[in-house]
Structure 1
């Protein structure tokens, strides 16, 4: 039966009774307090104005909502701070109106970002937060939420909120002098929030997920210091906020404020995020299925501990196999380009400059004389050549983490599939992707993204010294101890990450039972770049296959959930493949999604019933067009112009 209400009819809630979350098995914030919060939010909870209690919560509920006269609606001024009080834990910290053409700033210093239409910004803090020393990253005053409201004449009836990236924690979300939603830097969806409100006309929002990084907005993406208490224990409270509570509270508070501000419920609510934002969207489908009608989740950071521990694996390979001497950028680019040259013609017989089918790419640099140094029996005499040991190290990075550092021959298993091999703990990075993110070294000899991956391992082993020096807060702090880890140590960390899921608030977000979301007629589109150099796309394939195995097969799941692989796309949109500069491949210019193309496909599915089967993409300059196929269908060349979408089918 279709059910698009936020939770349940308000009259169904009784004090002291938990609201039901069909897929929720673990989140610790299901308390009487939490139930009360949602019941109050369900009733809109506006004081000082005459907003009536809504008959049903959330978006798309049946029946007409009570209408409020214009003088009863919340206004975009300081009166909103006292008028909007959905629960005891929520405080309005800032209200600011902007007129079309205004510079978007709170400090008086011009930002260069201009309001595209009249709008209102409201900032909230949702407690209780986490008590502790004032200087500790694990100390939090609560969840920061920034909500952007279109003018009342420009609202299109939708909510379109945005996901975050990495560890989130952007200080600007809760800042009284900065705006997080003025640019798309901090969001992983079709942002920025200011344009969603001003141009699209939808209510938008974003959250810091319950903690504020001391390393600034961009530094917060890599900053996991909040996750460990000063005494070295796991910060369960903030893990719960980060994993699930903050995104649910954002949904609840945004819906409540929307109803109170416009005097009617939103017609539809959408989640839009990539990376951490993709994981957040899938967590909503799993744990809070009534929050959103449609979820767009790209390159989802699900399998969090598996993926993060596996992300440190390239650095451990270089420590153990190469004596701690990292591969140079020139070496990584050469071997990745050679893989593209070897594999980019499998679809049409012509070189594209990017790999369309990673499953069939079995390039092995240990067998490539043009990549191997002359001292290793090859023909390459440049500084970018690889020794046999270095070439095998690259094979390990492509294959993924194993229990003991061994790797299968690429002819047998190349690491790109929907299931793991017997000795494979997690998947590696696709051939042709840019290995420089996790395998290259910065000036101090530490991989540029090692801070992102060493932190989870430090948390898994509950030893802060394993992290990089920027990891502060706990006794000992980070001391680059990851450099001394053996293959078995990393395998142990992998196992501990799974065992500690209750402490990490089930951050892996891998529950395949989406029956509650399907029952309320929700729709999901997920996508992943097949050249993603940050989050292994095989993790998305693995999860989607798991959902299909749990819920009656692919054809059954595709009625509400569709997944698309995108050749050559990197992390959340950009080109991720290294073109074949060392061979005969042309410079990569692959077809990629246009702005809002995938979001519009989701809206058309939710509101128009048009389920996306294959989605045509174009490259820059519109010289090449090809469709992407709904998994598990694969793109097949039928003949004719290789740059025309009509030459391909999904089979």
Structure 2
């Protein structure tokens, strides 16, 4: 929630009415016991079960730095240049109480092993009783979702809403995050967001089933249960509504809650969910394997990635005779650099300029990268199959990034390390991982560079076979009957230019839910979905065109649409959005399976589109 302008209005306009309008929830509002105080007595009085212990209770006054003390607290994100410098400490936006819990049993082992854990860390932020809006609004994690170095030594500042402390202070909701049961790797003073996959392998090289379960599912349920229990104990009355809010791994976590623990939340906001975990993450390594096998280990350069991706945009971004600067419908983009003389080098019969032009083999490498992992390392003619669809076709194992999307995250000079770590776990060989992977058997040695197409397909198959040991990390169960019957509501959104997680995975899942649960008329009563052209793996431009004027949704508004649906029965519908860089450029988001159809005069105006 980098933009917090909607929070105050959200609180003022919706909550008080919600308290009086929902009789079923209001029946729970009677006092239950003497409320707790934000002091040492809370640690002794709050004991929901034998596996849970309070490790910290700390009050913060408005304006106080959000630090825990000790002099080495990293209280803000590290600078983007990779240095160890940190931003100035954030400050509390209102009076707050911080409570940190550890929920065992964790996993025993050598003290210095990444697979050793004392339990699941949960960080809960409580507004003052007078400021509480009777909501719980928790945040999901990102990447491997590990916590700070050591047991709960950090204050959350990386969440989608800028930190759970800000949600509690500005919205007035109880908020929480979890380290999912493991610590993330740290280099010097720099915490690497999401850590790596070292925790998931035991010192003997076997899969760490206990921590996979905590990471994939148990930590999420424990956070929901313990946050509700603490809110009830702290305020002397229960919450009226509980919301999950997550993006990427956090989106996967929200869907896991709906699938496995459907009573935990009333509303779930799901962004770019990392479902189909082993399928899409294994496929994320494919661009690197293409360059190792087809290009002899020579990487496509940043100039080539940008030049050719922008050529794809120019070929596919025209609506109503106007170039949008981004591709609004990647399903119909069949751009093929192998037949585009303007991007081929002179040696390949083209007129493309240096340094961005391509050889014939490099042009076909682009087609492979845009198509996704196949069983034999080939890609069809884009005019026959461009790789974009609801279900994989032919030899395609899983989907890839769309044409025109910025490719450097996956096809840059180094792999996306979550992918190389996962493939190492799937193959049971830590040497395959990148060098940050740590294990007693062997550390990571970039062994992924030697993998063949057959090897990567074997890892893909093994990842699916290992779902029992990975605690069903793929999170792709289409049966949401229990969540629907609980009265839950879910709103999902995904960018069509996501630079890490192909949006087709969300399309695949939503269509499987439609098939499982009786079609759109039935499913849309509780589960709705927006696709966002041009949006990256965040609320930002995901295209290779840095000058694209992109209308993008606002997180606060998406969350507000979810709360209005849950508390007032107002189902999300068409959503007209404006570009922040030029508010005069607008676009329409339609509830899938509808999509915007140009029917007016100006392709840069939302009113020129109808949802069909």
Q: TM-score, normalised by structure 1?
A: 0.86
Q: Secondary structure at the match of 1:456?
A: helix
1:546 maps to: 512
The count of aligned residue pairs is 572
1:440 maps to: 412
Q: Deviations over 1:444-497 (max 9, x none)?
A: xx33x2x21011111111111111111102401211111111111111111111
| Cα distance, 1:322–1:60 mapped onto 2, change above 3 Å | farther
After TM superposition, the structure 1 = structure 2 runs for residues 623-638 of structure 1, keeping only pairs within 5 Å, are 623-638=584-599
2:135 matched to 1:148? Answer: no
1:511 maps to: 477
| Contact 1:145–1:174 (Cα < 8 Å) also in 2 | no
Pick aligned residue for 2:344 from 372, 375, 394:
372
2:330 matched to 1:358? Answer: yes
2:301 maps to: 328
| Cα distance, 1:597–1:62 mapped onto 2, change above 3 Å | closer
- Give me the whole-angstrom Cα distance separating, in 1, the residues matched to 2:352 and 2:24: 63
| Contact 2:220–2:257 (Cα < 8 Å) also in 1 | yes
After TM superposition, the structure 1 = structure 2 runs for residues 294-333 of structure 1, keeping only pairs within 5 Å, are 294-333=267-306
Q: Deviations over 1:363-392 (max 9, x none)?
A: 100011111111001101311111110010
CA shift at 1:521, angstroms?
Answer: 1.0
- Give me the whole-angstrom Cα distance separating, in 2, the residues matched to 1:600 and 1:201: 14
| Cα distance, 1:174–1:649 mapped onto 2, change above 3 Å | farther
CA shift at 1:627, angstroms?
Answer: 1.5
Pick aligned residue for 1:616 from 561, 568, 576:
576
| Cα distance, 1:62–1:594 mapped onto 2, change above 3 Å | closer
2:161 maps to: 190
**Structure 2: gaps spanning 5 or more residues:** 1-22, 76-87
- Give me the whole-angstrom Cα distance separating, in 2, the residues matched to 1:285 and 1:204: 19
CA shift at 1:566, angstroms?
Answer: 0.2
Which deviates the most, 598-607 or 615-624?
A: 615-624
CA shift at 1:623, angstroms?
Answer: 2.0
2:136 maps to: 159
2:77 matched to 1:105? Answer: no
Q: Deviations over 1:522-559 (max 9, x none)?
A: 00111100000100110000011111111111221111
1:13 maps to: none
1:169 maps to: 146
2:436 matched to 1:460? Answer: no
- Give me the whole-angstrom Cα distance separating, in 2, the residues matched to 1:152 and 1:452: 41
- Give me the whole-angstrom Cα distance separating, in 1, the residues matched to 2:371 and 2:185: 36
| Contact 2:122–2:176 (Cα < 8 Å) also in 1 | yes
Pick aligned residue for 2:374 from 398, 402, 408:
402
| Cα distance, 1:314–1:60 mapped onto 2, change above 3 Å | farther
2:546 matched to 1:589? Answer: no
Which deviates the most, 636-645 or 408-417?
A: 636-645
Pick aligned residue for 1:67 from 31, 36, 39:
31
Q: Secondary structure at the match of 1:85?
A: coil
Pick aligned residue for 2:184 from 213, 220, 242:
213
2:258 matched to 1:285? Answer: yes
2:580 matched to 1:603? Answer: no
**Aligned-CA RMSD value:** 1.6
CA shift at 1:349, angstroms?
Answer: 2.5
**Structure 1: gaps spanning 5 or more residues:** 1-58, 582-586
CA shift at 1:641, angstroms?
Answer: 3.0
2:602 maps to: 641
| Cα distance, 1:374–1:643 mapped onto 2, change above 3 Å | same
Q: Secondary structure at the match of 1:132?
A: coil
- Give me the whole-angstrom Cα distance separating, in 1, the residues matched to 2:100 and 2:150: 8
Q: Secondary structure at the match of 1:260?
A: helix
1:273 maps to: 246
- Give me the whole-angstrom Cα distance separating, in 1, the residues matched to 2:481 and 2:101: 32
Structure 1 outlier segments of 4+, above 4 Å: 59-62, 108-111
Q: Deviations over 1:11-47 (max 9, x none)?
A: xxxxxxxxxxxxxxxxxxxxxxxxxxxxxxxxxxxxx
CA shift at 1:116, angstroms?
Answer: 1.1
| Contact 2:148–2:184 (Cα < 8 Å) also in 1 | yes
- Give me the whole-angstrom Cα distance separating, in 2, the residues matched to 1:619 and 1:269: 31
- Give me the whole-angstrom Cα distance separating, in 2, the residues matched to 1:523 and 1:64: 20
- Give me the whole-angstrom Cα distance separating, in 2, the residues matched to 1:526 and 1:218: 29
| Cα distance, 1:295–1:168 mapped onto 2, change above 3 Å | same
| Contact 2:183–2:195 (Cα < 8 Å) also in 1 | no
After TM superposition, the structure 1 = structure 2 runs for residues 553-592 of structure 1, keeping only pairs within 5 Å, are 553-579=519-545, 587-592=547-552
CA shift at 1:595, angstroms?
Answer: 3.7
Q: Secondary structure at the match of 1:141?
A: coil
2:59 matched to 1:86? Answer: no
Q: Secondary structure at the match of 1:649?
A: strand
1:24 maps to: none
- Give me the whole-angstrom Cα distance separating, in 1, the residues matched to 2:24 and 2:212: 31
- Give me the whole-angstrom Cα distance separating, in 2, the residues matched to 1:595 and 1:612: 14
| Cα distance, 1:456–1:306 mapped onto 2, change above 3 Å | same
| Contact 1:529–1:567 (Cα < 8 Å) also in 2 | yes
2:101 matched to 1:124? Answer: yes
Q: Deviations over 1:405-428 (max 9, x none)?
A: 010111011111111112110001
Q: Secondary structure at the match of 1:573?
A: coil
CA shift at 1:65, angstroms?
Answer: 4.1
| Cα distance, 1:472–1:436 mapped onto 2, change above 3 Å | same
| Contact 1:146–1:173 (Cα < 8 Å) also in 2 | no
| Cα distance, 1:141–1:461 mapped onto 2, change above 3 Å | same
- Give me the whole-angstrom Cα distance separating, in 1, the residues matched to 2:478 and 2:526: 14
Which deviates the most, 277-286 or 600-609?
A: 600-609
- Give me the whole-angstrom Cα distance separating, in 2, the residues matched to 1:236 and 1:417: 34
Q: Secondary structure at the match of 1:492?
A: helix
CA shift at 1:232, angstroms?
Answer: 0.3
- Give me the whole-angstrom Cα distance separating, in 1, the residues matched to 2:596 and 2:606: 10
Q: Deviations over 1:294-343 (max 9, x none)?
A: 00011100000001110000000001100010101110011111111111
- Give me the whole-angstrom Cα distance separating, in 2, the residues matched to 1:610 and 1:616: 16
